[in-house]
Amino acid sequence: MKQFNKWRNGSTIAEKKSVNGVQGDMDALQWTDRLRQEIYEAHLEWENANRFFDYALGKDQIDYAIYAIITAEKRYDSLLRTAKRACKSWSEWRAVQ
């Protein structure tokens, strides 16, 4: 989670710098590609959490699976909202896979 927050805070700074016309640590295309990759990984994490829930046995595993699903959904949703705010039209994202 620390790594995600570090990336997210850094990307916000890079995004603001690129919006103001100042070269940041990464350009807009690199930032977009990085965000696209994060969205893809978050979606896989969400799918895996759902799969784990299907095979969970016992109260502890079920509780953990529910927690994992909620966490993965929130991360995925947050990244999608960030992507939608960052671009003018969603079609610019070429199909997030």
Average pLDDT, the chain: 78
Q: Which two tokens stand for residue 50?
A: 């759902």
Count of all residues that appear for the chain in the document: 97
Residues 13, 22: Cα–Cα separation, whole Å: 11
Does the pLDDT at position 6 exceed 80?
Answer: no
pLDDT for the residue 48? 95
pLDDT for the residue 70? 96
Give residue-wise pLDDT tens across range 30-74. 888 899 899 999 999 999 999 999 999 999 999 999 999 999 999
Residue 10: band (very low, low, confident or very high) from pLDDT cuts 50, 70, 90: low
Neighbours of 1 (CB within 10 A): 7
